[in-house]
Chains A and B, each alone.
Chain A
Amino acid sequence: MNARILYQLIRHDWNDFRRNPALWIMVGIPVLLSFFVVKVMINETTGPAEAVPMWVLFAQAMIGIMTMTLNFVDEKEKKTLEALIITPATYRAVTLSKVLFVFVLVLLGQLGVLLINGGLIGNVFLLFLLMLVGGAVFVSIGLLISLFSETERNGSAVASALMVVLFLSGVVYEAFGSLTQVLRFLPGALTINLVRGAMHNQPVNVTDLSALLAWLLLFLLLAEWRIRAELLK
């Protein structure tokens, strides 16, 4: 893949993003919301390690899924994607540029949440690793939704629903009794548990991390399969 083309596409994504207030809000909301809510949540018994992980997840889910979907499906619906892929830019290059661009936004969003709420504690190196892996998982979910949606309306509806489900599954999975052992392996719950562990400076839970990586691999394989199908349409 041509690095120059990729750079130009990412640069274009940034240009378009700058002029799209809806996407700015999408990135800003998790950071702002976390600031107000975490302040209320933190007390003598609950520290940042308990209150912040859910907002890291929220940033991953909201920015990763929603921004990716809106950005990509908008191009599909307005056919600008077709205009791009009849240039030296290929379908894969356009897709990768969007994934990378949104991935950076997700990282910035998570970093914003951690910084503003004093969340850079515990095993910071592991925390960064989890930001990368978790961010990639949710961007790939957004990518999958984009690849299957033809209109922005459909895409955003599915993205919103999935975002809420994945976020809530991470926050309240423990309330589901016997289902807890299954639900804890959903990406939302895995992320919260892993981030919380890192902030508490606990050793990494290899099973959870492996499960999260497995999700990422699964989503990427599905995306690759879908891209191939798109190219043969």
Chain B
Amino acid sequence: MKEACNRAVEFSRRLAQFIARNEKEFNDLPRALRAVASMGFQSLAGQSITDWVRTAADLTALLERIALVPTSSAHVLFQEQYPGLKNLLIKFVAYTHVALDESRRFYTDPEILSEVDEIMQQGRSDINVLISALDDLNGALQARVPGAWVASQHAHIDQAAQNLAGASPLPQEARPGQRLASKTRNGPDRENMIEVDNLSKKFGTLRAVDSVSFSVNCGEIFGFLGPNGAGKTTTVRMLIGLTHPSGGSAHIGGYDCVTQRGAVHRITGVVFEIPTLYVRLSVRENLLLFARLYDVPNVRLEQLMAQLGLKEVQQKQAGQLSKGWKQRVLIARALLHDPEVLFLDEPTSGLDPNSAKLIRDMIQELRRSGVTIFLCTHDMHEADELCDRIGFIYKGRLVALDTPQALKSHGQSRDVQVEFVEDGQVITRRYPIHDPEAANLIYRKLLAKEVVTIDTKQQTLADVFAQLTGGELN
């Protein structure tokens, strides 16, 4: 339950950020969203964590789409999102029925469905009616959960909104509760989902990881980039409790990676570089084993298999699958228990381009659903494409840590490359982008209509890595 609350807090923070950013632009929409979010928190009191995450994912997808259009089109999007929103509403409406017990089938209950349909019909004709209906539901739900807990959720929304630079705090009427004290150090810490402090590992005289310190924010894709043998996998193994550190400390979600391994394992999923599957068992049996160990219901297994396209190969022996399919099974296995942090060790290594793209798309999708991703790779293109921040590790030491853009602008400015015709030949020249000589040349050649191509050339992550370490990335 504590874990679920923290997820709710994290989601509310994001939602509040969104609302604060768009409040002026979207008039009444934030009110509706706030109502929906508020209901989400309260319905959590009786929800499973899986359901909550799904709810959060539905809402996030909805928010992302609405953010792109003006208010006048918002209700159209509500209609387009009908199935997702409907499911959400079903859940909320279900929780307003005091007599309802868990055994009742929410999604097929005629009473609930009819109420939801009514709300949706009203929402189609007038968004304000929908908002009002949502507010009513919100009010009904307030009676079902402890007031202090609801208040704490609103306090977190307010706090997050105020933390946004330049963002106005939410209107007073949206704050029914008192501000609560911030979370304690001993509790799970979701601001920095992963915290690593002077982590070291020695094998005999070899320092495989040497006093590495960094932190990974909640919901971030963090790339750990370095050549083979740089210490990436050893770091990950220490984080997930497979290797005992020689020094320093590491925490995931506030849990110590050495002394609270059980708790760390509950909130993390790992996709190993090598396909650690039971080759004699079928895909389904492989997943079933882990589903039983995590004690997750079969419905979650079915859902993941459908999501990852594994249904068609579920009876196949894992040993007969191609690497791409094996990787999908490994990802499904790592996601079975809805982890908050996913470790991916070279997830696309050795895959064909199509499979690699599928895995990358999946990583993006996971990030959208709020999962923090720790990506170990030596593929600079992959890191550049996917990661919010990247740490370079070389010979066990963290040599740089920043966003891909900031890393690429390290040391030198961008170049401009010009191809032009001179004496009947095509000549290629490259200059720093702010070089006056380049400007003169390009201007002259443009006037003379002798320019063939002009390109800006930026350093790659591999260039920067080479500058910083003197070594090769791949």
The answer to whether B281 and A80 have CB atoms under 8 Å apart is no
Nearest CB in chain A: distance from B49 CB, A: 15
Partner of A87, one of B272, B279, B290: B290
Task: Give Cα distance in the complex from A111 to B252, angstroms.
Answer: 50
**Do residues A88 and B270 form an inter-chain contact, with CB atoms below 8 A?**
no
When chains A and B are docked, how far (Å) is the Cα of A196 from the Cα of B294? 47
Taken residue by residue from 1 to 35, chain A's Cβ proximity to chain B (1 for < 8 Å, 0 otherwise) reads as: 00011001101100110011000000000000000
Assess whether B214 is interfacial by the CB under 8 Å rule.
no
Cα-based distance from A71 to B73 in the complex (angstroms): 62
Ordered nearest first, which 6 A-B pairs have the shortest CB separation?
A19-B280, A83-B276, A87-B293, A79-B276, A8-B292, A232-B244
Query: A: which residues have CB within 8 A of B?
Result: 4-5, 8-9, 11-12, 15-16, 19-20, 78-80, 82-90, 231-233
**Stretch of B8-16, B191-199, B235-243, B454-462 with 4 or more beta carbons under 8 angstroms from chain A:** B235-243
Q: Are B293 and A233 in contact (CB under 8 A)?
A: no
Do B280 and A20 touch (CB < 8 A)? yes
Q: Which residue of A lies closest to B293 (CB)?
A: A87
- Give the chain A neighbours of B243 by CB distance below 8 A: 233
Interface stretch (choices B22-30, B261-269, B465-473): B261-269
CB-CB under 8 A for A82 and B272, given A88-B262, A88-B265, A231-B244: yes
Task: Report which of B266, B279, B289, B333 forms a contact with A12, defined as CB distance below 8 A.
Answer: B289
> Are A8's CB and B242's CB within 8 A?
no
A selection of 11 A-B contacts at a CB cut-off of 8 Å is: A20-B280, A79-B274, A83-B290, A83-B333, A86-B241, A86-B265, A87-B265, A87-B290, A88-B262, A88-B293, A90-B262
B residues 240-289 near A (Cβ < 8 Å) are 240-244, 262, 265-266, 268, 270, 272, 274, 276-281, 285, 289
Q: Report yes or no: B294 in contact with A88, Cβ–Cβ below 8 A.
A: yes
Are A86 and B270 in contact, CB atoms less than 8 angstroms apart? yes
Would A83 and B272 be within 8 Å (CB), given that A16-B281, A19-B281, A231-B244 are in contact?
yes
Given A16-B278, A79-B274, A80-B277, CB of A87 within 8 Å of CB of B244: no
A residues in contact with B266, CB < 8 Å:
88
Interface size grouping (class) on chain B: 20 to 34
Chain B contacts of A83 at CB under 8 A?
270, 272, 276, 290, 333
Q: How far is the CA of A211 from the CA of B443 in the complex (A)?
A: 96
Known: A86-B242, A233-B244. 5 other contacts (CB 8 A): A5-B293, A16-B280, A19-B280, A20-B280, A88-B295
A19 to chain B, nearest CB (A): 4
How far is it, in angstroms, between the C-alpha of A86 and the C-alpha of B272 when the chains are bound? 11
Given contacts A15-B281, A88-B266, A232-B244, contact A79 B272 (CB under 8 A): yes
Contact B242 A85 (CB under 8 A): yes
- Contacts A86-B242, A86-B268 given: A78-B276 contact, CB under 8 Å? yes
Distance of A86 Cα from B244 Cα, bound (Å): 14
* Inter-chain contacts of B270 with A (CB < 8 A): 83, 86
Contact of A80 among B262, B265, B278, B293 (CB under 8 A): B278
**Chain A residues with Cβ under 8 A from B274's Cβ?**
79
Report A-chain residues with C-beta under 8 Å of the C-beta of B278.
12, 16, 80
Find chain B residues with CB under 8 A from A4 CB: 295
| Most chain B CB atoms below 10 A, which of A12, A20, A85 | A12
Chain B residues lying within 8 Å of A86, measured Cβ to Cβ, are 240-242, 265, 268, 270
Q: B276, A82: Cβ atoms under 8 Å?
A: yes
Contacts of A79 in B (CB 8 A): 272, 274, 276
Q: State the Cβ distance, A76 to closest chain B Cβ, in Å.
A: 11
Residues on the B chain within 8 Å of A89, using CB:
293
Taking CB atoms, residues of chain A closer than 8 Å to B241 are 86
Complex CA–CA separation, A199 to B289 (angstroms): 43
Q: Which residue of chain A is the closest to B258 with respect to CB atoms?
A: A232
1/0 contact string of B67-91 vs chain A (CB within 8 Å):
0000000000000000000000000
Given A88-B293, A88-B294, do A80 and B276 touch, yes or no (CB 8 Å)? yes
Residues of B within 8 Å of A16, CB to CB, are 278, 280-281
Which B residues touch A78, using CB under 8 A? Answer: 276, 279
Contact B244 A8 (CB under 8 A): no
Q: Which residues of B contact A11 (CB under 8 A)?
A: 292
